[in-house]
Amino acid sequence: MRKVLWVLAGVVTLSGCKKDADAGVPTPRAEARAAAPAGPPPEEETEPGAYVVTREKVDAYVTYQQRMLEVYGQQVKGLQGLGALVDAGTPEAMAAARAGLKVVEAKAKAEAEARAQAGLSVADVNGLAEVVTAVIGQRQLGRTLQYEEELAKLEALQARLPEAQRAELGAQVASMRQQVEAFQKLTDVRRQYGDANVDAVLAREDDLVRNYQEMLRVFTGTRR
């Protein structure tokens, strides 16, 4: 029964929606592509990482996230206590598992409704989630590692040292400065997703960070 709860927990995510191809079952669209003569792919088909982010789509995604946070909060509450029932092996265990599955089904329905209300497709949610996660994740990692604060301390230490020792510390300071610059400018993320996509996400950075922090609060059960 423990496995049931792992399955239920596994569906809880802010990253987006699972695509049809993930199921491993050929769809009519996939079969049509296989039967079609070789040639350039349709315009709607893009390579991974080629999704084009716009300010309007990011605005819609922020709204979608906020709606889904409400859904996730309800889901977490609905799944509370199920683990103890299932692990206890009581007659109520299967009923508890079924109740948990209903919660998951309700989440899937709410997710589809949230997408429709925001005017986003599954491809939009998946594409936006990939870029937003890369950008906001890098920003949060930089804050967590406190590279800027550490660089300031290292520079202050270097300034107090005698000239000979200051030169010895120079390579370490330069390396730290490069790391800070990479986090600030999102160099690697921009290389992968393009400046325009990254800048569109950064335009709503404050809201996206708040959603990220609220997501952590919902799943960890911490209070505001």
Residue-by-residue DSSP string for 133-193: HHHHHHHHHHHHHTHHHHHHHHHHHHHHS-HHHHHHHHHHHHHHHHHHHHHHHTHHHHHHH
pLDDT of residue 125: 96
pLDDT tens for residues 4-51? 333 333 333 344 554 444 434 334 344 434 444 444 333 333 344 479
pLDDT score for 35:
41
For the chain, give the mean pLDDT. Answer: 75
Q: What are the pLDDT digits (tens) for 48-86? A: 447 999 999 999 999 999 999 888 877 766 565 555 545
Asked if residues 45 and 29 have their Cβ atoms less than 8 Å apart, the reply is no
Q: Which pTM does this prediction carry?
A: 0.64
- What pLDDT does residue 168 have? 81
Q: Which of 97-101, 140-144, 188-192 has the lowest mean pLDDT?
A: 97-101
- The per-residue pLDDT for range 82-111, each reduced to its tens digit, is 555 455 556 666 666 666 667 667 778 888
pLDDT band for position 127 (cuts 50, 70, 90): very high
Residue 223: band (very low, low, confident or very high) from pLDDT cuts 50, 70, 90: low
The upper half-sphere exposure of residue 54, i.e. CA atoms within 13 Å in the direction of its Cβ, equals 5
For the ranges 83-87, 132-136, 146-150, the maximum mean pLDDT occurs at 132-136
Q: Which of 67, 186, 196 is nearest to 136 (CA)?
A: 186
Picking from 171, 195, 193, the residue whose alpha carbon sits closest to that of residue 185 is 195
pLDDT band at 162; cut points 50, 70, 90: confident
Integer angstrom CA distances of residue 51 from 43, 61, 122, 195, 224? 12, 14, 12, 13, 34
Tokens of 30: 């996939």
Name the CA radius of gyration of the chain, rounded. Answer: 23
Contact call for residues 11 and 100 (beta carbons, < 8 A) = no
